[in-house]
Amino acid sequence: MGIARKLLRWYDGAKRDLPWRRDPSPYKTLVSELMLQQTTVGTVIPYFERFLARFPTLASLGAAPDEEVMALWSGLGYYARARNLRRAAVAVVAGHGGALPADEAVLRELPGLGPYTAAAVASIAFGARTFALDGNGARVMARLFGVGDSIDRPATKARLRALGTAEVPASRAGDFNQAIMELGATVCTPRNPRCQACPLSADCRAQADGTASQLPRRSEKRARPIVQTVCACVTDGARVLMIRRGKGLLAGTWSLPERTLERVAADRVAADLAAEAGVTGGKPQRRGAIRHVFTHRDVTAEVFRIRVDRAGRGGATQRWVAPEGMTELGVSSFTRKTVALGLGSKRDNVARRS
Ligand code: SF4
């Protein structure tokens, strides 16, 4: 088919001016690619700029405390990406002299770099002739080549990756990959693709067959489990008790004490959470509920405020924090909402995934 020439010509005129494309470097590519997973460009830009201002190099990132990295990621979601990025920086400093390796297979060995990120960095930063298959790339390839199999099947992904790889030109491999991403984000969009504005419309199987809106196909998703939890907003009126979460959902971030609700009255759970954090006295007052749809579960959290006379002591996994000090911690948007409800508004809130 030979789509590269048309695609690159279009990309040269249509590409957006994005901070990681200005004065590019392998490190900027890595940070931007990780931030952009599951997150829109508009959301990522301010996070990327703050992150690069604080950690201008891999070495500065590798030397930073985990907590500071999490704080700068706060609100961006999918926090494992932040922990892995820092771990990757440490590994690059220790094993590669502080410079990201150019080889895709070696990049794959770094913490948190899956096939997509390794291929994206290898091609965009080092010009490797490889295809980075993410959701955008899979959608564009499935439509271009009229692939009707479910794109979440490994065999289909392998086929789409092979089809994409065959199109990557020997020169400008990185631009080719970025052009596919750009096309998927701005023209060949999940709903209502703008085929009239597409540089590849004459080459596109789905456009010829009139099937663009039906592709790509996916296997039926299993419904997310619905989980009920209780959050205890323990406060002395000025500060709020925050705990650092261990493994599992939002691991490593700071949040209100929280527990799954199972056959025990919610206010009892809230009182138990406070007692386990060393807080005594204070009657739980129900403030409302927050619903938040995470990727793998649909959580409704009942929030209780427990007013105490005096804040207790902090520790490695426990702190008393003023609401305005939350930005210093790694705090998810879910936690921001539970704190706001615990301290302020009584209204129940239904929040979608951020
Ligand atoms: Fe996507 Fe339409 Fe372009 Fe085909 S012609 S790649 S379906 S935007």
**200 and 323 inside one domain:** no
Same domain, 8 and 56: yes
Q: Are both 72 and 95 inside the same structural domain?
A: yes
Q: Give a yes or no: residue 136 inside a domain.
A: yes
Q: Does ligand 1 come within 6 angstroms of the Cβ of 142?
A: no
The residues annotated with a catalytic role in the active site are 33
* Residue 258 host element (H or E): strand 258-260
Are 22 and 136 in a shared domain? yes
Q: What is the residue whose two structure tokens read 């996070």? A: 47
Is 72 inside a domain boundary?
yes
221 located within any domain: no
The tens digit of pLDDT for each residue in 319-343 reads 999 988 887 787 888 999 999 999 9
Same domain, 194 and 247: no
What predicted TM-score, i.e. pTM, was given to this entire model? 0.78
Nearest alpha carbon, ligand 1 atom 2:
195
List the domain range (segments joined by +) for residue 338: 226-343
Looking from the CA of residue 187, the nearest atom of ligand 1 is: 8
On whether both 155 and 21 belong to a single domain, the answer is yes
144 in contact with ligand 1, CB cutoff 6 A: yes
Domain check: are 96 and 205 in the same one?
yes
Could you say which of 214, 245, 275 is where a domain stops? 214
Residue 353 lies in a domain: no
Q: Where is the domain boundary, 214, 234, 252?
A: 214
For residue 193, give the ligand 1 atom closest to its CA.
8
Domains in the chain, number: 2
Rounded distance between C-alpha atoms, residue 41 and residue 48, angstroms: 10
Tell me how far the alpha carbon of residue 144 lies from the centroid of ligand 1, in angstroms: 6
Query: Same structural domain for residues 114 and 50?
Result: yes
Question: Ligand 1 within 6 A of 256 CB?
Answer: no
Q: Is the CB of 119 under 6 A from ligand 1?
A: no
Q: Determine, yes or no, domain membership for 351.
A: no
Give the domain CATH number at 237: 3.90.79.10
Helix axes 173-186, 4-14, angle to 10 degrees: 70
- My answer on whether 269 and 313 are in the same domain is yes
Residue 183 lies in a domain: yes
Reduce the DSSP state of residue 282 to 3 states and report it: coil
- Where do we find the tokens 């410079």? 99
Q: Among candidates 5, 1, 2, 56, which has minimal Cα distance to 27?
A: 56
CA 12 to ligand 1 centroid distance, Å: 18
- Choosing from 3, 186, 191, 207 the residue with most ligand 1 atoms within 8 A of its CB, the one to mutate for a pocket test is 207
Are residues 125 and 15 located together in one domain of the fold?
yes
Cα 201 to Cα 196: distance, rounded to the nearest angstrom: 7
Q: Are residues 142 and 99 in the same domain?
A: yes
Is 198 domain-assigned?
A: yes
d(CA 264, CA 268): 7
Of 214, 241, 267, the last residue of a domain is 214
What residue owns the CA closest to ligand 1's atom 7?
212
Query: For every one of its 354 residues, what pLDDT tens digit does the chain have, with 9 covering 90 and above?
Result: 579 999 999 999 999 999 999 999 999 999 999 999 888 899 999 999 999 999 999 999 999 998 899 989 988 888 889 999 999 999 999 999 999 999 999 999 999 899 999 999 999 999 999 999 999 999 999 999 999 999 999 999 999 999 999 999 999 999 999 999 999 999 999 999 999 999 999 999 999 999 999 999 998 777 888 999 999 999 998 899 999 988 888 888 899 999 998 878 888 888 888 888 888 778 899 999 999 998 888 999 999 999 988 877 777 889 999 988 887 787 888 999 999 999 984 444 443 333
Q: How confident is the model over 284-320, as pLDDT tens digits?
A: 999 999 999 988 889 999 999 999 888 777 778 899 9
Ligand 1 center from residue 208 Cα (angstroms): 10
Please report whether residue 107 resides in a domain.
Answer: yes
- Give the per-residue pLDDT at 128: 97
Do 284 and 187 sit in the same domain of this protein? Answer: no
Please give the Cα distance from 76 to 43 (Å, whole number).
8
